[in-house]
Amino acid sequence: MHRHYNGLKTAVLFGVIWAMLLGVGSLVGRGKFVWLFALVGVAMTAYGYWNSDKIAIRSMRAYPVTPEQQPAMYRIVSELSSRAGQPMPALYVSPTEAPNAFATGRNPSHAAVCCTEGILNLLDERELRGVLGHELMHVYNRDILTSSVAAALAGVITSVAQMLMFFGGGNDEDRPNPVAMMALALLAPLAASVIQMAISRTREYDADQGGAQLTGDPLALASALHKLQYGTARAPLPPQQDLVNASHMMIANPFRAQDVSKLFSTHPPMDQRIARLEAMAGRH
């Protein structure tokens, strides 16, 4: 298995987002409000972090399940949590035929794992174990904080850039070239969104690798992803805004290919993920 340095990539991408935030903010009021924008970013991150489980679960209309209702799901998560030395998360099922799964929560003690009815019907127990191992790694890697920070900062950059378009950068002597200012105001939100998507993609690779190591069965997750590649195409989720906001948490892109460009996809190509898992198992 090749090393992909996803942690380093994430740090670099965060650095670029923060640099963009401070750079764009410095043009509004000659930099007087740049730290205000930074504080807003922190506040938005905190809100998303503390409420991530409620937001995602509500968007998927999921309901809690007991060991009697979902014995296989409960047995697998209990076993993997014990193996990892982590608390048992709450389990939910979403009443949709779109096959998918996600984990959310601010830390292992406040976590939830959700499967759709579609994925429970699509996968066998070995494949489901691979998927649940992947989702648990999102919790253990604190990926909810990572995605919350990225989303919040991208949102603040968009807001600052919009203010830049309407209010400019200071008095007439200090205001930058209006053409350059307009270009920056238009391109900064686009660039921030692309960086946010790139962060999400690196997190998926990490969870694939960590989940395969946790279960000891990379090919189980590879087989599950192969089924999901076609299952999500047959039964996609509608591109509603609340589902779009939660889509980066899901193991597979839940939308039709024409509903999201590769540039803005929160998920790396499924073929690449499968190939990496097969390489872990010694297959080429």
- Say what the pLDDT of residue 284 is: 45
- Say what the pLDDT of residue 24 is: 65
Residues facing 111 on adjacent strands:
105
* Secondary structure E strands in 82-167: 90-94, 101-107, 110-116
3-state secondary structure of 269: coil
Handedness of CA 1, 102, 261, 197 (dihedral sign): negative
Tokens encoding 118:
């579609």
Across the 284 residues of the chain, what is the mean pLDDT of every consecutive 10-residue run?
51 68 64 66 66 78 96 97 96 96 87 96 98 95 70 63 58 52 62 62 89 97 96 89 76 74 68 94 69
Query: For residue 63, what are the CA distances in angstroms to 25, 55, 89, 93, 147?
Result: 42, 13, 14, 6, 24
Q: Does 3.30.2010.10 match the CATH number of domain 43-160+189-280? A: yes
Q: Which of 97, 117, 125, 135 is catalytic?
A: 135
- Say what the pLDDT of residue 32 is: 64
- Say what the pLDDT of residue 263 is: 47
Closest to 113 (Cα-Cα) out of 76, 145, 83: 76
Q: How long, in residues, is the chain?
A: 284
| Number of C-beta neighbours around residue 151 at 10 A | 20
Closest to 200 (Cα-Cα) out of 115, 263, 256, 158: 263
Catalytic annotation present for 204: no
Tokens encoding 130:
């691979």
Read out DSSP for 197-238? HHHHHHHHHHHHHHHHHHHT-HHHHHHHHHHHHHHHHHSPPP
- Say what the pLDDT of residue 43 is: 72
Lookup result for tokens 């200090």 = 174
pTM for the model stands at 0.75
